[in-house]
Every structure is written in structure tokens, then in C-alpha cells.
Amino acid sequence: MPSLLRTSAAKPNIIFIITDDQRYDTMGFMDKPWLQTPNMARLAREGVHFVNSFVTTSLCSPSRASFLTGRYPHCHGVINNFTPWRDDNVTFLELLHAHGYDTALIGKWHMTGKSVPDLVGQGKVNRMVSFYGQGKYFDCPLIVNGKNTESKGYITDTLTRYAIEFLGQSRKKPFCLYLSHKAVHGPFKPPERYSGMLKQVSFPDLGFINPNLPQIPGINRQRKKFKKNIQSYHEALIAVDDSLGKVLDFLDARGMAENTLVIYTSDNGYMWGEHGLLGKRYAYEESIRVPHLFRYPRLVPKGGRKVSEMVLNIDLAPTLLSAADIAPPDIVQGRSYLELATGKSVPWRESFLYEYFKDPLFPHPPIQAVRTREWKYIHYLNSQFPDELYHLSVDPKERHDLAKDPAHTSIKKKLKVELERLKRKYAC
């Protein structure tokens, strides 16, 4: 892939923006005209929309670690929100830093350990602005280059100011910015300027809670607050779109857009009553599928392209490294999708492995699943819950479980074999 980029000696600047709990269809141009996200629409219009983008584990900490390392959770070790980050993990930020990039991590770290790691003090990044755990939507205490620092105002706006400050620094090197938003994780709190903006929108009712699957603690409280929660979730997302717009406008104003790769995505999706569930973790589409927008005018001068191949969070690190003409480490399990972005036809994955591990504070069963272009097979480990099988090409909402249908015994058997093959392939 690096040969695609040798038309110029200049290495690209890189901006990676990640939200929390934003499912794949929560963008205004995805048949939601009431949701004002013009900057997400702009990024899709000027770049590439990966319409089938997935996470390998639909949970904050494991997914973020996979974005950073290009590896599955069972390999990088962050298997739930309570397992600590291993310092022997190697991130794309420190690899870019070692190859001459100015790097910054601004926003949510969300991996446990003794504290938020001081990546600046370890010589792995030039700038780090983060917070403990989930942080706060308003007046969030920050950790700036290892020092506790107060902040005032709405967290999305605060992180954006730090991001713009980093982008505006005088430098001779290319830069990589990792902008990691708290939004739109619950408890859902929009900024004052957007609070109540969507109160007239007719959101769907929460409906039936499936008694056959374990629920998040406090589910009944969430049921009572459902209308307010889903409204506030989308209102908070509008502020994220503001942030994206400020970043894009800054690049334009400084003449940096042409040689800057911008990628926008989320750490996992979110279910709003689909399958009788709230939240994530399960292997259903609303949970594992995320938005994925890509813009790099130097490589893809004509925007508006949609790519249907299945890309994963483990593909991000090798993609960014390849864009910088850096060979990914052998332990990286994803692959660069730069060629897909250009419209080139290349052999690509026909299936992927999904995994979810036991989380000590939540009752959901461990899961292994395989998704192909057409089918999904879900297996619950150590559980009384039966396998599930969905024909995605004819049942995209996964409403008709075919696992017990004798007519689909053969395809179920094939997918079980494929699941075992993927587990062997991604062993570590």
C-alpha cells in the first residue's frame, strides 16, 4: 500500500476522531433529516463512507484498545471495562511518534490501570489531555500532560479547544491527533444550547424488554426515562458535529485539508429497544456496527464514494501506519483499507470474528459470533441461551432466528466451522 502515497515526499497529517456509543445510522444523512449533523454529511460527501464498519467487541475499553493496537481484545488483554491496559501494548500513536510525527491524545482514555498513563512522560506522545474513567459532561477535571487541571464548560467543547490548540502549533513535522470524545455515552447530557432541541421528534417507544436475555442493572429506571434519554443522546451528538466542523474548518483556514487524513468513527453502537435491549455488548447489528467516514483529498480527490466491504476497528492502526509509509508490526491483526478507499478492487475478508467477554458488573453472557456478508451466527458461551442464526441479506433487522430451522442446518454447520477457523486465525 505505501506505493499509493509516493506521489509526494510529504507524509500526511492524521486526525482520528472517535465518539462513544454512536451507532452506524446516527447521522443526519442516514434518513434522519431531523438530526442536524451537516459536518458528518460533509465528510461523507467529500470523502468515503464505509457503510459496513464493525467493532470486534462492542464495549468501550476493548474496542478502543483494538483501534489503538490493531489487535483483538483476547490478544491485547483489555477484554472488558475493568481489565487494565498492558504497558507492553504498542499503539499507532507511539509508532508514528517514533517515525517523526508530533502526536496528541486528547479526550477519553477509558482503560483501567493505576491511573491514566502519562504517555508524554513515557515519551510516547507529545501532548495528552484526558480524564479519569467516564469523566463529566460539565466542568470535567482533566489530566494535562500528567497534571490535574480544572476545566469549565461542556466537555465536547473543551476537548475541541485543546484539539485546535494542538493543530495550530508551529511545527516542521507531520502530526497525528487522536480526538476521543466522551459523548455520546450516558448519562446523556447535551449542552445547554441544544437541550430540548429535539423534543418534538417522535422517537420510537422502547417497547418489550426480552425476558429471555439478562438486562443491564437499573433497566426499569431506563425504561421510565427512555424518551428523555434518546432525545438527549441525539442532542449531545449535534455538539459532536459542531466539534467536527471546527476541526474541518480549521484545516481549510490553514490550507492543510489536502494533505490531512481525517477518519471519524465510534467505539461501538447502541441499541434503543431493538431485540428488546438497551445498550451494547450483544452481537446484533445496532450494537456492533459503527459510523466510519474517511477523507484524504490527496489520495482520494473525488469524494462521495461508498465502500461496502467489511472493515473493522483492528484495521485502523495498519491503515494509519500505511498512510505514513510505516510497515505495521507483525502482531497487528487488521489490515490497511487505503486501497478500498481509492476504489481499487482488492481481495478482502468475507467474514469476521466477534467476541464479548464476561464483565463482572453486568450479567450478559460471553459471546462468540461470526458475521459474513450474508449471514450471522451467534454462540453464547457457558450459557443456557441457544445459538442464533440470521440471514442478513433478507432479514437485516435480525428478527427471524433460523437456528432451529431444519432447512438451515447446513449453513449453521458451515458457520460454526468458520467460527472455529477464525478463532485459530486470530489466536495469539
CA atoms within 13 Å, Cβ hemisphere of 196: 2
How much of the chain is in helix, strand and coil states, percent to nearest 5?
Answer: 30, 20, 55
Calculate the dihedral angle through the C-alpha atoms of 410, 412, 418, 424, rounding to the nearest 10 degrees: -120
pLDDT digits (tens, 9 = 90+) for 8-24: 458 999 999 999 999 99
User: What is the predicted pLDDT for the residue at 325?
Assistant: 96
Distance CA 58, CA 61 (A): 9
Grid cell listed for 394: 433478507
For 147-159, write each residue's pLDDT tens digit. Answer: 999 999 999 999 9
User: Tens of pLDDT along the chain (428 residues)?
Assistant: 444 554 445 899 999 999 999 999 999 999 999 999 999 999 999 999 999 999 999 999 999 999 999 999 999 999 999 898 998 999 999 999 999 999 999 999 988 765 677 888 788 899 999 998 899 999 999 999 989 999 999 999 999 999 999 999 999 999 999 999 999 999 999 999 999 999 999 987 766 566 666 665 556 666 678 889 999 999 999 999 999 999 999 999 999 999 999 999 999 999 998 988 889 999 999 999 999 999 999 999 999 999 999 999 999 999 999 999 999 999 999 999 999 999 999 999 999 999 999 888 888 899 999 999 999 999 999 887 899 999 999 999 999 999 999 999 999 999 999 999 999 999 99
Q: Which CATH superfamily is domain 2-348 in?
A: Alkaline Phosphatase, subunit A (3.40.720.10)
Phi, psi of 313 (to 5 degrees): -60, -30
Burial class (CB in 10 A: 0-12, 13-18, 19+), 304: exposed
Per-domain boundaries in the chain: 2-348, 365-425
Say how far apart CA 195 and CA 206 lie, in whole Å.
21
CATH match for 365-425 among 3.40.1160.10, 2.60.120.640, 3.30.1120.10, 3.40.50.720: 3.30.1120.10
Give the residue ranges of DSSP H helices in 82-225: 92-98, 155-167, 219-224
Rounded to two decimals, what is the model's pTM? 0.95
The domains spanning 2-348 and 365-425 adopt the same CATH topology: no
CB 235, CB 190: distance < 8 Å: yes
Which are the contacts of 96, defined by CB distance < 8 A and separation ≥ 6?
A: 14, 103, 176, 320, 321, 324, 326
